[in-house]
Structure 1
């Protein structure tokens, strides 16, 4: 590899890391004593969150207010007003220092968020009749919150929030179909900043009590080196199979995504290793990057963590968190199984093999080298799924065990290597506090997204909910299928500029009740869980949707591939995920609604995988050989039979409780397609990784 190629790879990695740092919440890098200001606040925030999860008992409103206060303080100190110098005003884009201007704004914003705590008794007694001070501080908080969201998330969410706020006041002047009685300034401020129905609503509560702990746990795993361990473990298991590095990327990204909740951070953690390896065995740069995008994006679908939105779903649907895990399990794992299938197809089309075993890590040695990372994760799963403790308690105990692991990890390594123990203990302590700071910084965007989205939720709850359902009904002409398509496209478009959590909150607030209502009017029963998961899925898919999908840009930077082409290819891989929400909206078996039998659940999962495999073959143009045009409808029929047996049973007159008799039809058609394509399987299609790398024996 030439020096130029090495330099290009390093430049790509640096660009991807910068994108990850921006998402993590690293904006300014001040010099001198100021470099400790933001980490000190971040560590203090983490210690506060750990305190309320253990010994510190506070009212829920206090917790939300302090949580938001910390986030606003960090944002205004950490992110300049402009990313680049404009209008000749250097202090508005300073990155090496924190201007006095931002210190003042940060303190004012923090105190505005804390106002509900500072005058809690007074505010509770005059709710609905705010005094002038309440109105001034309420408006100030709303403006500063939207400005903070603009700095860290971008302009999309503030613009949408401003639009809703304007609609709340201008409703009486809108055309008849959009007309709304409007609200007074007193009622608006009371709703948004003096109650728990606006900024301090359920999303911010979930961010403050649950999500922070899981993000902190993920940051500690990352700082301890678990991300590298996961990818090495995946390579040791799967690297030698056909298209092995791509399969390892999927497994590694799935393991990392369970605790990460960030597509870009996932790509930087795993893609740094897997994308060059995929290119080495023969994957084109665009496809190598697209595989990493699809795998990292879907990491947020994987139970038990599923990013921040999963906990908000539990609150909105009013079910235990384990019910969300249960509902999300089959679609998520079927989606991942289909992605394994797709990369296998791609390897077959390209005539690739895996990496030579002598170039891969040894499995048992690799597994044992990081088995200590599995212990806190196992404890977390045990607490969540087996004994069913609250997510807060489960995460707190897992963090406690992770602290112990991090304290012991470096000294044990030093002892084995016969090095001094003292410096190793010091490094362990530094790593723990660095993880605390990183976890808090990661939380800034989540806290601001949930608080700013709370403005939209608050406006909707002021009386717009019924009107929005009516408008959606008119736009979709009362057709549930058209409404779902509109909702999916709206989620993709809105999600291009928003974090997945904010996209879910906005779309769920606007459309989830409408989906259930309009479906009910057409004699379809759609569980509320299905409607919320529908919004959640398409919010996540926006991460790799061109032209804005940031995950595609990060992967393209590492692979040195065109970002738009990478996004398009990633979206083509993710189409198999996009059909799942449409399926479980109408077939609630896929989210295990009212299904308690393990055997029935396993059957549904197996057939969901078959259906997704068939759909992947139809869209990728390959099964065991290249498809012929007339075979595509047969693959799609397998998908329908496997995922919507209820619809087929209804068509042929079978009662609903006999719908599973349709499954053998799907298997028979799939088997026939295999027999038809088997004679066309390319002979001698494979080549070794070494041959691919050296560019010889191309088929």
Structure 2
């Protein structure tokens, strides 16, 4: 049983059931579904292109685009996802056809009656509109149940009930409640609810990137990354597991589904991991952990990056810039865990097809890095020169150069064997040489290069960037088979061109079908977003978390993390991000500010995103881990528990980058500081892996493991230890505020501790940060009121808040009438926290020395 694996046909069935519905249809039913899916892809490409404006045809506004987008998704769900597990899979019941048509009709109501719906915004709605809204909402929830399961439906129903039952809720979460008219308009007939931001991002960005990934995989890039990773790392101890980590990072960049990543790469890597000595549970857990982390790896990040850009209000380029270092560190940590597991198990090493000495391998690696870096830099300079020299004609010249490069790489690949999909059951005695694999499929990297270039160099919009990348894949799919045949001097016939066209059409269909569950999830998440915006739940959650945490910022982070894991259970990557971000992100920032901690919004959104992802390995609804267990033929619960332990290295990162935004490349002042951040983080991950796995140079004792974990956390944020020894602030009397403001010239940042009643009547304490400005000739009262909207009067040793201007910075910071300013806090000069690296690393060196001594004694005794 241990050596049985999931066959390619069975892994395709797993993807079919989890992501595509699982119906096995033929004849007209199959043609209908493929036709709808193909039409959806063509529609999305049309609205993303400039063609509507060139031909003045089908120029659609955002509301209409989103309505048609959801109509396609609902139609495909009812046609492809059975109503129940026992339903027949070889036919579409009449009821599902009717439900599909009704669902499309509810979406098209706004399309057909757009002007009347918009013109009567805020007015009374008709009986027909009530029916359309509630029928559409009910069908959306049913589609969500079929595509995503019950968790998302339960969350949606709870939020709908909360919208109507607000007056009957406990005081801390009560609200006035929504009328039927308001609910209908807000949730279905406007862009505030179901057709709001999540569905807009789904229609505008996510579909195109999912389509990009499907087309690239159809071209063969996914298999290329797997083979290349194995060729590079398969010869190392535990090499197949290390290859799984790297290949999942690469395929995760082009996959919108963690489950698809698990079963695609896992079909190849899990049997190899088991063959070299990993247990089925550990093999499945390693694949699950690396596949889930593919969702945090830029540039695609499971499509959540586009939502973050919209929620936070920054560019897509900034999102992936901030997200790269934590993702890289997380993958490095998993690589270290895999290496330690291989050492603990004394696993065998596979031989390489071509062997080199250590010096030869080092020189080849250095030369390869230099060559690729030089090539990339040379191409950058070339395209910049083309832009300067040819002006408006630069695009034509660039396309010609890319075409020549593509042809050159195709014909250069003829010197190497063609890349084929390996049979996981076939015996494997040697690891193939990586260089022939790399050169044989180097042309697969061109579309990714086009995407990265457009995003990061040209700074095009995400939609325009991926449109160019998709166009390059079109060319690749249509021409690669005939050109490869020509390069290998094989006859080129019409069948090869037909195969290319069929691959293109199959990719378009697969992209739409892969998108079905995602689009439905986005629409269902719009229920949560709409209810939060209509009821003010985000502000209420601030009070709830503050009450539960008792004012402790660290406890608040733990509560937020726990809520993210619970809310994310059973949801796909992008949906769980929307749910937790809509509910938790604003309270997090607000409460951090009240503690006097300035947390960048992008750090908060990455925090909730990371913990939403962890739900994929958290029992009892660990859907990603269960998929990995199915491939590995292992116990699902044990697999999910091991994957959860492996995921702890990812769980500590959000806490660190919230408190130390330098990990997100925020506030980096110099190359030296950047090197310190990266270097200390990588060392910390090695130590953390050793601590959590109970093995460094030999099996660790308990005190050694605990010490290593603590040191790893301190290396990620050394100021934690320094704060305990030397507090960063010292208190001053509240009246110093008046002295500071009196005659202030220029700008001064003030940090103060204030106390007063919150909305529920509880006495709370907050840390307030204000920026005061003055011209040197103003009184303290004028400076405070003009720069912060604050009026105070002395009262004993404190200052009493007597006046607040509406929407002033003092009111925004959380001050209220009759609050008291207790003390001021002033920053103190203290040593650089980075000096603490020396004693921490000295302790690590001592543990290493102890372990090496024990290991050598054990060898002598043997």
Structures share a fold, TM > 0.5?
Answer: yes
594-603 or 162-171, which deviates more:
594-603
109-118 or 530-539, which deviates more:
109-118
- Asked if the contact 1:618–1:632 (Cα under 8 Å) also holds between the matched residues in 2, the reply is yes
Instruction: Flag the 1:347–1:135 CA change in 2: closer, same or farther, 3 A.
Output: same
| Aligned position for 1:192 | 187
- Asked if the contact 1:245–1:278 (Cα under 8 Å) also holds between the matched residues in 2, the reply is yes
Question: Which of 818, 838, 841 is the matching residue for 1:664?
Answer: 838
CA drift of 1:638 comes to 2.1
Alpha-carbon distance between aligned partners in 2 of 1:5 and 1:503, rounded to the nearest angstrom: 34
Instruction: Flag the 1:31–1:614 CA change in 2: closer, same or farther, 3 A.
Output: same
| 1:384 to 2:379 alignment | no
Alpha-carbon distance between aligned partners in 1 of 2:2 and 2:312, rounded to the nearest angstrom: 51
Alpha-carbon distance between aligned partners in 2 of 1:677 and 1:378, rounded to the nearest angstrom: 46
Q: 5 Å matches for 1:562-577? A: 562-577=635-650
The root-mean-square deviation of aligned C-alpha atoms, in Å, is 2.0
Alpha-carbon distance between aligned partners in 1 of 2:830 and 2:485, rounded to the nearest angstrom: 64
Alpha-carbon distance between aligned partners in 2 of 1:452 and 1:355, rounded to the nearest angstrom: 48
Question: Which of 5, 9, 15 is the matching residue for 1:9?
Answer: 5
CA drift of 1:684 comes to 11
Write the deviation string for residues 395-428 of structure 1: whole angstroms up to 9, x where unpaired. 1111110111111121123332624421111111
| Aligned position for 1:680 | 854
| 1:511 to 2:581 alignment | no
Question: Which of 523, 528, 532 is the matching residue for 1:460?
Answer: 532
- Asked if the contact 1:204–1:451 (Cα under 8 Å) also holds between the matched residues in 2, the reply is yes
Alpha-carbon distance between aligned partners in 2 of 1:615 and 1:524, rounded to the nearest angstrom: 26
- Asked if the contact 1:607–1:642 (Cα under 8 Å) also holds between the matched residues in 2, the reply is yes
- Asked if the contact 1:23–1:445 (Cα under 8 Å) also holds between the matched residues in 2, the reply is no
- Asked if the contact 1:16–1:555 (Cα under 8 Å) also holds between the matched residues in 2, the reply is no
- Asked if the contact 2:20–2:516 (Cα under 8 Å) also holds between the matched residues in 1, the reply is yes
| 1:428 to 2:430 alignment | no
3-state SS of the aligned residue for 1:28? coil
| Aligned position for 1:393 | 464
Instruction: Flag the 1:26–1:414 CA change in 2: closer, same or farther, 3 A.
Output: farther
Alpha-carbon distance between aligned partners in 2 of 1:128 and 1:134, rounded to the nearest angstrom: 13
Larger strand percent: 2
Alpha-carbon distance between aligned partners in 2 of 1:5 and 1:113, rounded to the nearest angstrom: 49
CA drift of 1:531 comes to 1.2
Alpha-carbon distance between aligned partners in 1 of 2:627 and 2:340, rounded to the nearest angstrom: 25
| 1:218 to 2:213 alignment | yes
- Asked if the contact 2:140–2:524 (Cα under 8 Å) also holds between the matched residues in 1, the reply is yes
| Aligned position for 1:367 | 438
Alpha-carbon distance between aligned partners in 1 of 2:856 and 2:225, rounded to the nearest angstrom: 34
635-644 or 117-126, which deviates more:
635-644
Write the deviation string for residues 337-371 of structure 1: whole angstroms up to 9, x where unpaired. 01111111001101124311131122111011211
- Asked if the contact 2:570–2:623 (Cα under 8 Å) also holds between the matched residues in 1, the reply is no
Question: Which of 70, 76, 79 is the matching residue for 1:77?
Answer: 79
Instruction: Flag the 1:493–1:14 CA change in 2: closer, same or farther, 3 A.
Output: farther
- Asked if the contact 1:15–1:557 (Cα under 8 Å) also holds between the matched residues in 2, the reply is no
Q: 5 Å matches for 1:416-565? A: 416=488, 418-463=490-535, 464-565=537-638
Listed as ranges, the gaps of 5+ residues in structure 1 are 85-92, 686-698
Larger helix percent: 1
Alpha-carbon distance between aligned partners in 2 of 1:22 and 1:684, rounded to the nearest angstrom: 51
| Aligned position for 1:114 | 108
- Asked if the contact 1:231–1:248 (Cα under 8 Å) also holds between the matched residues in 2, the reply is yes
Write the deviation string for residues 284-316 of structure 1: whole angstroms up to 9, x where unpaired. 121111111111111111111101211101100
Alpha-carbon distance between aligned partners in 2 of 1:451 and 1:179, rounded to the nearest angstrom: 25
| Aligned position for 1:126 | 120
3-state SS of the aligned residue for 2:253? helix
CA drift of 1:141 comes to 1.2
3-state SS of the aligned residue for 1:647? helix
321-330 or 490-499, which deviates more:
490-499
Alpha-carbon distance between aligned partners in 1 of 2:215 and 2:855, rounded to the nearest angstrom: 47
| Aligned position for 2:480 | 409
CA drift of 1:80 comes to 2.0
| Aligned position for 2:61 | 59
- Asked if the contact 1:199–1:455 (Cα under 8 Å) also holds between the matched residues in 2, the reply is yes
| Aligned position for 1:688 | none
| Aligned position for 2:695 | 622
Instruction: Flag the 1:656–1:396 CA change in 2: closer, same or farther, 3 A.
Output: farther
The higher radius of gyration belongs to 2
3-state SS of the aligned residue for 1:308? helix
| Aligned position for 1:639 | 712
Instruction: Flag the 1:596–1:316 CA change in 2: closer, same or farther, 3 A.
Output: farther
Alpha-carbon distance between aligned partners in 2 of 1:682 and 1:568, rounded to the nearest angstrom: 33
| 1:346 to 2:341 alignment | yes
Alpha-carbon distance between aligned partners in 1 of 2:228 and 2:447, rounded to the nearest angstrom: 17
Alpha-carbon distance between aligned partners in 1 of 2:132 and 2:228, rounded to the nearest angstrom: 53
CA drift of 1:280 comes to 1.2
Alpha-carbon distance between aligned partners in 2 of 1:684 and 1:424, rounded to the nearest angstrom: 63
Question: Which of 328, 337, 345 is the matching residue for 2:332?
Answer: 337
Alpha-carbon distance between aligned partners in 1 of 2:521 and 2:134, rounded to the nearest angstrom: 18
Question: Which of 589, 607, 610 is the matching residue for 2:662?
Answer: 589
Alpha-carbon distance between aligned partners in 2 of 1:353 and 1:604, rounded to the nearest angstrom: 35
Instruction: Flag the 1:625–1:43 CA change in 2: closer, same or farther, 3 A.
Output: same
| Aligned position for 2:140 | 145
| 1:28 to 2:23 alignment | yes
- Asked if the contact 1:533–1:581 (Cα under 8 Å) also holds between the matched residues in 2, the reply is yes
Alpha-carbon distance between aligned partners in 2 of 1:532 and 1:166, rounded to the nearest angstrom: 27
Alpha-carbon distance between aligned partners in 1 of 2:671 and 2:136, rounded to the nearest angstrom: 50
Listed as ranges, the gaps of 5+ residues in structure 2 are 53-58, 354-429, 729-828
CA drift of 1:132 comes to 2.3
Instruction: Flag the 1:216–1:683 CA change in 2: closer, same or farther, 3 A.
Output: farther
- Asked if the contact 2:107–2:136 (Cα under 8 Å) also holds between the matched residues in 1, the reply is yes
Instruction: Flag the 1:647–1:684 CA change in 2: closer, same or farther, 3 A.
Output: closer
| Aligned position for 1:322 | 317
| Aligned position for 1:649 | 722
Alpha-carbon distance between aligned partners in 2 of 1:205 and 1:66, rounded to the nearest angstrom: 11
- Asked if the contact 1:646–1:656 (Cα under 8 Å) also holds between the matched residues in 2, the reply is no
Alpha-carbon distance between aligned partners in 2 of 1:682 and 1:290, rounded to the nearest angstrom: 32
TM-score (norm 2): 0.76
CA drift of 1:470 comes to 1.5
Write the deviation string for residues 238-278 of structure 1: whole angstroms up to 9, x where unpaired. 11111111111100110000111211111121111111111
CA drift of 1:216 comes to 0.5
Alpha-carbon distance between aligned partners in 1 of 2:850 and 2:625, rounded to the nearest angstrom: 37
- Asked if the contact 2:545–2:559 (Cα under 8 Å) also holds between the matched residues in 1, the reply is no
